[in-house]
Structure 1
Amino acid sequence: MADRYSRQKLFKPIGVNGQEKIGEKHILILGCGALGTANAENLVRAGIGKLTIIDRDYVEFSNLHRQHLFTEQDAIDQVPKVIAAKSKLEEINSDARIEAHILDATAVSLRPHLKEVDLVIDATDNFDTRFMLNDLLQQLNIPWIYGSCVGSTGMSYTILPKQTPCLHCLLDAAPPNGATCDSVGIISPAVQMVVAHQTTEAMKLLIEDRDSLRATLVTFDLWKNHYQTVNVDKAKDSACPSCGMHATYPYLDYGATTKTEILCGRNTVQIRASREIHLAELANHLKKVGEVKGNGFLLSMDYQSYRVVFFQDGRTLIHGTDSIEKAKKIYYQLVG
């Protein structure tokens, strides 16, 4: 059989030695949507030795325009994303060892899967999970590559524990309610641009060429023809609770997590965030999705076949389901 990696080996920064290193490494991708599937395909084609993919969701038709590993039949059968992805990836490269886990990622559930992982790629869809991931990987000293996209915009940054600013340094606290794919949509090229940055940075880390890593935060808007790299070195905070001299890893604390419970007999799930909700900001954001009603104490709206009620103290009620997984999916679609 001809050498499938011959063209990659001809690229001098990788070469034969770099290719061998790629084949010895283990990457975990958290999230198996648009960013996750594209990064996974790139890495499997590049010859990654072992790939772990984690996601809690299943394939839907609305995924197909940007999540390249999935087919219409996957959506019809509501196949879990990691199962569908694993099947396609093994057809692409039978030599790659692929582990797939249908899992709601928490600090507790994720930790066992990080043993002997060389790198983590962020392909999540919410900042609750990202901040938890940031603290956990700082604690375990595992590098990771942040990425996000919505509309025609995106950004990416490579985080090296003890060296670069962490996500907490960059954002300081969980950001206000922002745009989501369900409120402003997304175009596939924005996904591919973020993935190009994430996969390239991953390959540099895999072959241990840290001198070539991009030290800046990259942001872009493809539709408006904007591309920017930002030097964030000064953002590193020695007092940061997630990566500073006396780190306490606050987002690993149970009190900082988003909690869910089924309300008995009401076909309703309650989600309690760790922070208060700014109702005016949220109302302005939700108007992009549908009609919003409020009274100064709460906001309510009909979304798909559900009624969603947001309280200022951080509670949200999802009426119309007793599935925690479904409720969390709706919550993150709306809140971001």
Structure 2
Amino acid sequence: MDFNRYSRQMLFSPIKERGQQKLADSSVLVVGAGALGTVICNHLVRAGVGTIRLVDRDYVELSNLQRQMLFDEDDVRQALPKAIAAKRKLEKMNSDVTVEGTVGNVTNENIASYLHGIDMVMDGTDNFATRFLLNDACVKHNIPFSYGGVVSSRGMTALFIPGETPCLRCIMNEGAGGGQTCDTIGVISPAVDLISSLQCTEAMKYLTGNKEYLRNTLKTIDIWYNHHYDMKFLEADSACPACGTHEFPSLTKSAQETETVLCGRDTVQIHQQDQINLSEWEKRLSQVSETTRTPFLLKAEFQNELKFVIFPDGRVLVQGTEDTTTARTMYDRYIGS
């Protein structure tokens, strides 16, 4: 590793060469390569964190470019999966860093495999179901979890450390979020940058061994209306089903839901099969829809304005509806079981 790349960062006295080496020896899992995730990855890769494991289930669309900083119009034209597009950009930034990009859905069945060798988990998601899953897994495996969320001009963030702080479940009820999304009330890019930068700052403190400077609060900021608030951490809740009683609700559900409404996307994801042959389904669906295939996915657009986006790992996004019954009807009609 050429430390000259990080010379300005190493002049910062809390980091220096020792801290830089700790960053190089660290591995971080980033779940979600959208607005938060792309900023997080940009900062961590440029800072020299040794391994970034990035997982995302979606692909790049034009509306992403306003705030998802690693993508461009070529990625949109190619309909690249976000994990692939992000990996390509990040590898050009810093060849010192190992970037692993996985196109897939993080579930209670596979989360443990993503956590192997990981020092911290960073939240780049857009829904609380996944956040609670990450929280439970991190508590169980004793890994710090950096939570972040942004909508409109406001955001929230906190770093939860098992055994030292409360966890996400201690301070938020499952089902939190209030139904507001970027697609219903909008979002401005600077709010995303601010929250994800705060996430990365706390991560760097932790990974370089500067834990005495950790904020230890749930921070809320509205950068447009000039509001900010820090809720100091209290003791962990002894009745918390994650860090208290170790029930881990998100990890012990008997079966993963096959239908998931994607937050604010007018899309239902159906994940019923383990794999799908894109070439085979292109031949079948081209008879009843307008199809476009890339090495990573297959798009099928129907006359009723609903669309399928099909991935090799068996996931199908039914776009144009948030009604699971409508989505399931379309899926069963054209793909079946």
Question: For this structure pair, what is the TM-score category when the shorter chain's length is used for normalisation?
Answer: 0.7 to 0.9
Measured in 2, the distance between the counterparts of 1:256 and 1:175 equals 22
Structure 1 pair 119/316, CA: closer, same or farther in 2 (3 Å)? farther
Across the two proteins, how many residue pairs are aligned to each other? Answer: 281
Residue 216 (structure 1) shift: 0.7
**Paired residue for 1:252?**
251
Q: Name the stretch that deviates more: 175-184 or 86-95.
A: 175-184
Measured in 2, the distance between the counterparts of 1:87 and 1:78 equals 14
1:322 equivalent in alignment to 2:331: yes
SS in 1 for 2:250: helix
Measured in 2, the distance between the counterparts of 1:2 and 1:20 equals 9
Contact 1:271–1:317 (8 Å) recurs in 2: no
SS in 1 for 2:159: strand
Structure 1 pair 176/145, CA: closer, same or farther in 2 (3 Å)? closer
1:231 equivalent in alignment to 2:252: no
Structure 1 pair 45/320, CA: closer, same or farther in 2 (3 Å)? farther
Residue 2 (structure 1) shift: 7.9
Q: Name the stretch that deviates more: 104-113 or 83-92.
A: 104-113
Structure 1 pair 269/27, CA: closer, same or farther in 2 (3 Å)? closer
Measured in 2, the distance between the counterparts of 1:270 and 1:66 equals 23
**Paired residue for 1:243?**
243
CA offsets per residue over residues 77-110 of structure 1, 9 Å max, x none? 1001011111111110011111111111102122
Contact 2:134–2:145 (8 Å) recurs in 1: no
Contact 1:59–1:70 (8 Å) recurs in 2: yes
CA RMSD of aligned residues (A): 2.5
Contact 2:56–2:105 (8 Å) recurs in 1: yes
Measured in 1, the distance between the counterparts of 2:132 and 2:255 equals 10
**Paired residue for 1:281?**
none
Structure 1 pair 316/185, CA: closer, same or farther in 2 (3 Å)? farther
Structure 1 pair 58/23, CA: closer, same or farther in 2 (3 Å)? same
Contact 2:268–2:321 (8 Å) recurs in 1: no
Contact 1:31–1:54 (8 Å) recurs in 2: yes
Residue 205 (structure 1) shift: 1.1
Residue 6 (structure 1) shift: 0.5
Measured in 1, the distance between the counterparts of 2:211 and 2:177 equals 33
CA offsets per residue over residues 270-328 of structure 1, 9 Å max, x none? 979xxxxxxxxxxxxxxxxxxxxxxxxxxxxx99973444xxxxx654368539xxxxx
Measured in 1, the distance between the counterparts of 2:157 and 2:269 equals 32
Contact 1:60–1:78 (8 Å) recurs in 2: yes
SS in 2 for 1:198: helix
**Paired residue for 1:306?**
320
**Paired residue for 2:297?**
none
Measured in 2, the distance between the counterparts of 1:117 and 1:80 equals 23
Given the two structures, how large is their TM-score scaled by the length of structure 1?
0.78
Contact 2:268–2:322 (8 Å) recurs in 1: no
Structure 1 pair 171/320, CA: closer, same or farther in 2 (3 Å)? same
Contact 2:15–2:208 (8 Å) recurs in 1: yes
**Paired residue for 1:330?**
none
1:216 equivalent in alignment to 2:217: yes
Equivalent residue letter for 2:11: L
Given the two structures, how large is their TM-score scaled by the length of structure 2?
0.78
CA offsets per residue over residues 226-258 of structure 1, 9 Å max, x none? 111111315x211111110x3111111224854
**Paired residue for 2:31?**
30
Measured in 2, the distance between the counterparts of 1:58 and 1:308 equals 18
SS in 2 for 1:252: coil
Measured in 1, the distance between the counterparts of 2:101 and 2:108 equals 18
Measured in 1, the distance between the counterparts of 2:321 and 2:84 equals 31
Measured in 2, the distance between the counterparts of 1:194 and 1:256 equals 33
CA offsets per residue over residues 155-186 of structure 1, 9 Å max, x none? 10000012211111111332264200110110
Contact 1:55–1:103 (8 Å) recurs in 2: yes
Residue 210 (structure 1) shift: 1.1
SS in 2 for 1:42: helix
Measured in 2, the distance between the counterparts of 1:318 and 1:164 equals 41
**Paired residue for 1:292?**
none
Paired residues for 1:1-336 under 5 Å:
3-175=4-176, 177-234=178-235, 236-244=236-244, 246-255=245-254, 257-260=256-259, 306-309=320-323, 317-318=326-327, 321-322=330-331
Measured in 2, the distance between the counterparts of 1:81 and 1:176 equals 24
CA offsets per residue over residues 126-146 of structure 1, 9 Å max, x none? 111111111111100100100
SS in 2 for 1:21: helix
Contact 2:31–2:125 (8 Å) recurs in 1: yes
Residue 25 (structure 1) shift: 0.5
